[in-house]
Each structure stands twice: as C-alpha cells, then as structure tokens.
C-alpha cells in the first residue's frame, strides 16, 4: 500500500483509503482520540505526518486481515468500551445475550456475588458489575488475559468491585457465589482450522478450543460449580448454537434445573442451570 502524502486532510485520507471506509474512520478516531461526530465535522483538518504514518501502518494490518478491534485495541460491548489485544477474544454480540440474562437475574434476585469463569477481557464481569450492585471475581488461566480484565474493570469504573484470580477453572477458588457466569471455549478442536482467517490467525486458540466435542468445559462447570454456589445459586453459560441439548443433558445429569435462552437469531445461546 503506497503511503499517503504528508499534507493531507482527514477527508482526503478517508477518500483515498483503500480499506473499508468504516475501518478507516475507526482507525482515525482511535489515532486522533475523536468520536465519529468530531471526526466528520473536522474533515478539513490537516493531519500531522506522524498521524498519517500511523494510519498507513494500521491500514496494512487491516489489509492483512487483522481484526479492527486488535488494530485499534478497542472493542464495544454492552454499551461499554474495552481494551483488547490478541491475548483475549474480541467480545461478540452473541455474548450480550449472556450478560443481559445475568444482569436481569441479579437485578430481580438477591444475587450480589458473581464469579466469571474464563473471564478473558472481563467484558461479561465488568458489564454485570457496571449495571448492577453486585461485586465479583474474574477467573482465567491466562495471566495476560487477567491483566487485560483488570485494566478493563478500572477503565469502566468498577475496579473497586472486582477482583481477579489466576486459576485453572475452580482449582484455586475458595469462596461461594450467588451466581456463576461463563463463556468458556466451546469450539471443537477439529473445527478451529475451518474458522475465518481473522479468527484462527489472530484470536487465542486457548480461548476457543473446547476439546474434541466442544463440551469439555461444560462437563467441568456442571460437575464443580455446585461446590462454589450459595443455596439456590445459578450458573449462566454461553453455548454454541448447536450445543443446547447436549449441555442441557450434562447439567440435568448433574442435578440442576435447566432452561435455555435463545439469541435474537432464534438459536440456543445461553444455558441457565439452577440448583434445586
């Protein structure tokens, strides 16, 4: 990609960009620390050469199929802004179904303590703490992910309500909670090479790989979560679109009462398992 001339306005740069125009706008918004309204009302502003150089570098990353969120280190989830890099998954719209269901549960019950298993970027836990009076703990096996989750808790003004534990699932958890939420890895191992290039080349495989059948973490959650739940505690789990019946059966065998919540596309998306 040829570099743009140094003396160039925002409008000219956007007009000449060969990448997706929406991506180009978000890159400039990130570089200039502007929102979209500010950007579009300053199209005649001449850009400093270093901004143009940074834009060109980031545009090359986009051309090489790096997700925009990793290029600008920013993702949006539940109306909040999160820092992300290649150590954590990019928050998905589907996961908002999990967060919304858990928030509604917290706000209509006395569930005030939350455990977020496989917290990753912390997007689910931070959202729950932002929109409720709950306090919570985020757990992950990745130190790098936990660093990002901590950063996001502070970024969204819930750092005082959140703590984080480095743990392989429940191995280092010592307390009980009213609510456990989890968006665990659930892609069958053999399916990972078939994912979109931007996913398989950039997102952490450890956060995607759910074992041979994609269900490995649900077996652990169903088996162990009850030991870390207060009486009448509940587990909310995101699942793959075709995993509802399998995860429901796993949880029923473990003694839970189970319901399934669908996403806006009509697919099974969240399994809710409650202690009887």
User: Is pLDDT at 173 greater than 70 in this prediction?
Assistant: yes
> What would the mean pLDDT of 68-91 be, rounded to a whole number?
98
pLDDT at 177: 98
pLDDT at 2: 46
pTM for this model (two decimals): 0.94
pLDDT tens digits, residue range 237-275? Answer: 999 999 999 999 999 999 999 999 999 999 999 999 998
pLDDT at 1: 42
pLDDT at 6: 57
- The separation between CA 152 and the C-alpha centre of its own chain, rounded to angstroms, equals 11
- The separation between CA 146 and the C-alpha centre of its own chain, rounded to angstroms, equals 13
> What would the mean pLDDT of 114-133 be, rounded to a whole number?
98
User: Is pLDDT at 186 greater than 60 in this prediction?
Assistant: yes
Cβ pair 32, 9 in contact under 8 A: no
Tokens describing residue 231: 């009486």
Alpha-carbon distances of 26 from 21, 33, 70, 85, rounded to whole Å: 9, 10, 12, 16
Tokens describing residue 230: 């207060």
């Amino acid at each position: 990609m040829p570099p743009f001339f140094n003396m160039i306005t925002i409008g000219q740069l956007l007009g000449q960009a060969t990448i997706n125009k929406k991506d180009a706008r978000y890159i400039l918004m990130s570089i200039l620390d502007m929102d979209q309204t500010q950007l579009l009302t300053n199209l005649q502003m001449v850009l400093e050469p270093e901004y143009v150089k940074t834009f060109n570098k980031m545009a090359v990353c986009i051309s090489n199929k790096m997700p925009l969120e990793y290029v600008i280190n920013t993702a949006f989830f539940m109306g909040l802004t999160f820092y992300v890099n290649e150590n954590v998954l990019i928050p998905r719209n589907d996961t908002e179904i999990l967060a919304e269901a858990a928030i509604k549960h917290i706000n209509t019950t006395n569930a005030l303590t939350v455990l977020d298993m496989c917290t990753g970027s912390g997007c689910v836990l931070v959202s729950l703490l932002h929109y409720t009076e709950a306090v919570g703990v985020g757990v992950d096996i990745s130190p790098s992910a936990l660093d990002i989750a901590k950063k996001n808790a502070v970024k969204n003004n819930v750092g005082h309500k959140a703590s984080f534990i480095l743990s392989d699932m429940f191995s280092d958890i010592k307390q009980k909670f009213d609510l456990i939420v989890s968006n665990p890895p659930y892609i069958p191992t053999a399916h990972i090479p078939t994912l979109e290039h931007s996913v398989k080349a950039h997102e952490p495989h450890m956060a995607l790989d759910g074992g041979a059948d994609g269900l490995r973490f649900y077996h652990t959650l169903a088996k162990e979560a009850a030991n870390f739940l207060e009486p009448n505690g509940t587990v909310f789990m995101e699942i793959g679109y075709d995993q509802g019946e399998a995860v429901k059966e796993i949880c029923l065998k473990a003694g839970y009462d189970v319901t399934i919540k669908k996403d806006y596309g009509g697919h099974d998306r969240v399994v809710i398992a409650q202690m009887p």
